[in-house]
Amino acid sequence: MKPIAAPNNTAIALAAEGSPALIDLVRADRRWVDYVQVGPWLGPARMQVLAEAYPVLLHSNAGLVSRRLPFSALSRWAKETGTPWLSLHLGLDDTQLNRLWKRFGLPLPRIGRHLGLTLAIENLLAFQQMVEVPVAIENQAHHRPSGHDYVVDPAFICDVIAATDSRLLLDLGHARVSAAMRGMPVTAYISKLPLAHVVELHVSGPGEYRGRLRDLHRPLSEADYDLVSEVVARCPQLRAITLEYFGPVATTRTQLQRLRTLLDTLTR
């Protein structure tokens, strides 16, 4: 892996989703975050506006286990935004059909594990040739077993990383949900991942819904902050922690303050 320079001379940068609440904060004081996270869900015009005003991290919800991916658009956006790396989902495409498969836990896969691994590796290798910045893959959240839950198996994630020498965007909320689905402690689940490849953490609070832990992007709990503290020390290539939260300004501010204090303590 090529090294990624630490941003703004800090050991680990603090980033946040480019929500209206976050933009209200950084308009008043740029020091709240080092990066604003942007992605296709904002639309190209909004991404460009934010990239011209702030340093950004480009994240895509495109799934690598797919036969069609928007590589040309992503490559163009990477250049236009100046992102230091970009990330994609290690999962199936975010289509209505695939969401239903995941939601209802249908047992027969549309794309089996062997083909899924082949597609993920081939797509990632091809995309790496198209962009000038490192590419990270993000672990996904599966709250119930299905024919596609192999994408959250740590062995599957490790196989993709090993074959492509890519980075890992470790989403701690996703890890908590998938670990619960697999019936194991989140710390044990994370221990099986290639932590030496982690470049970025996503943090948000999962929550219980209909008897299962779900990826709900709630405010961070004390357990979430404790998990961040534990994981940061185990990721030697970590360059950023990104808060993924879409709620009000006051709650966004409180979480960013806690995360900044935590980072200052951990990186002294």
Number of structural domains found in the chain? 1
CATH code where residue 248 lies? 3.20.20.150
pLDDT digit string (tens) for the chain, length 268 residues: 544 554 554 689 999 999 999 999 999 999 999 999 999 999 999 999 999 999 999 999 999 999 889 999 999 999 999 999 999 999 998 766 777 777 777 777 889 999 999 999 999 999 999 999 999 999 999 998 988 999 999 999 999 999 999 999 999 999 999 999 999 999 999 999 999 999 999 999 999 998 899 999 999 999 999 999 999 999 999 999 999 999 999 999 999 999 999 999 988 7
Does residue 11 lie in a domain region? yes
Reference 88, options 224, 199, 204, 179; nearest CA is: 199
Does residue 27 lie in a domain region? yes
Does residue 164 lie in a domain region? yes
Does residue 107 lie in a domain region? yes
Does residue 167 lie in a domain region? yes
How many helices and strands (H and E) does the chain possess?
10, 10
Does residue 187 lie in a domain region? yes
Instruction: Look up the pTM and report it.
Output: 0.94
Which tens digits make up the pLDDT trace of 189-203?
999 999 999 999 999
Instruction: Give residue 268's pLDDT.
Output: 78
User: Residue 68 belongs to what domain range?
Assistant: 7-266
Share of the chain above pLDDT 70, in %: 95
Quote the strand ranges of the chain, DSSP E.
13-17, 35-38, 56-65, 86-92, 135-138, 167-171, 198-203, 205-209, 212-218, 240-243
Does residue 2 lie in a domain region? no
Does residue 1 lie in a domain region? no
**Inter-residue contact 229 to 264 (CB < 8 Å):** no
